[in-house]
Structure 1
Amino acid sequence: MKRIYLAGLATLGVAICLGQSAAGAIEEPAYPEGYRRWTHVLTGVSDARFKRYEGMHNIYANPKAIEGYKADGAFPDGSVIVFDLFEVVDQEGATVATKRKFIDVMVKDSKRYAATGGWGYTEFLGDSRTDRAFTQDKAMVRCHACHVATPGRDSVITRFKD
């Protein structure tokens, strides 16, 4: 009887520890299924001065994020913005997008991502929907440090023009 009681206490202790660990973890933003059918915000080409961002990028926003763009920088929870980056080649004077390098994703959720101004960040490598360049705990340093430098625009660097 004593062994069963101790085994039960041990199991309960492990469950509590696992529950606390899971509760403390920050949920990673999900892969934004269908984002290429969202509103296209802009396309740009960056040269070697932008190092890892060199290439051609397209930025897409879901309907909630478009509300934020139109509200002049107040993005509601549920906003998702995608930065889709491709390598480029010169083909007879035309800059052509080739292989996808990665997609960066911003998700607005003021409760889940309070430590980063309400934004969650992630980066999916190549065409993968699961392989990530970093975890959410590193996003504060890696992503948010640049995004927070855009005061008055809710950490969003781009602007939308109708």
Structure 2
Amino acid sequence: MKRIGACALGLATIVFGISAVAAAQRKDDLRSPIYGVKLPKGYRDWKLISVAQENGKNNDIRAILGNEIAVKAFREGKRPFPDGTIIVRLAWRYQSSYRNDAVFLAPQSFVAGPPTNIQVSVKDSKRYAATGGWGYGQFEGELPNRDPAVVQACFACHVKLEKLEHGADFVFTGYSQ
């Protein structure tokens, strides 16, 4: 009987340990690879910085939002952006609005279709010194894209902008008035 009790206790310890590790992994699953960036709480309520349309490979429309630090820096034209700046880019496939076009009697209205992804840029000049002070994450359906190559591509693209336009602080978006 003691032996069965010891086995049950051992089994329970193993199951509890595995459950604890799995719970920790689920918690970490909300962070992007490489930079550890998470989707910020309440980001959908942040202020709009700008909108954009990308044709070609991306074929999407975008809303660029920022936290209070980002919005203040954009409005003041402050570069480099201060630490604590967070910029979130939401993207959707753009598609014709048959409903709107029926009213306007011409194919002229485009709206957001299915979401593609959310990209997050976080400014922390010490933590992300090797990438110009920025950490990046890409999320699909609120979950991080686990492919490190996707996240590495963020800085590879942003560094091209900085070479082209020194002083942009690796940020494509300008503030729309």
Tell me the TM-score range normalised by the shorter chain.
Answer: 0.7 to 0.9
1:37 — aligned with what? Answer: 45
Deviations 1:73-95, CA, capped at 9 Å, x for gaps: 22111100011000121122211
| 1: CA distance, partners of 2:143 / 2:54 | 26
1:132 — aligned with what? Answer: 145
2:157 — aligned with what? Answer: 146
Change (3 A) 1:59 1:133: farther
Task: Give the RMSD, CA atoms, in angstroms.
Answer: 2.0
**Unmatched runs of 5 consecutive residues or more in structure 2:** 1-32, 102-106
Q: How many residues align?
A: 131
Percent identity over paired residues: 34
1:7-156 aligned within 5 A? 26-48=34-56, 51=57, 53-69=58-74, 70-91=76-97, 92=101, 93=107, 94-125=109-140, 127=141, 129-135=142-148, 139=151, 141-148=152-159, 149-150=161-162, 151-156=166-171
After superposing on structure 2, the runs of 4+ consecutive aligned residues of structure 1 that deviate more than 3 Å are: none
1:82, 1:104 within 8 Å by CA — same for their partners in 2?
Answer: yes
More RCO (CA 8 Å, sep 6+): 2
Q: TM-score, normalised by structure 2?
A: 0.66
The higher radius of gyration belongs to 2
Deviations 1:76-135, CA, capped at 9 Å, x for gaps: 11100011000121122211111110001100011211110110011001x2x2231533
| 2: CA distance, partners of 1:153 / 1:130 | 29
State the 1:153 CA deviation.
Answer: 1.5
2:60, 2:91 within 8 Å by CA — same for their partners in 1?
Answer: yes
2:35, 2:137 within 8 Å by CA — same for their partners in 1?
Answer: no
Q: TM-score, normalised by structure 1?
A: 0.72
State the 1:26 CA deviation.
Answer: 4.9
Amino acid at match of 1:147: H
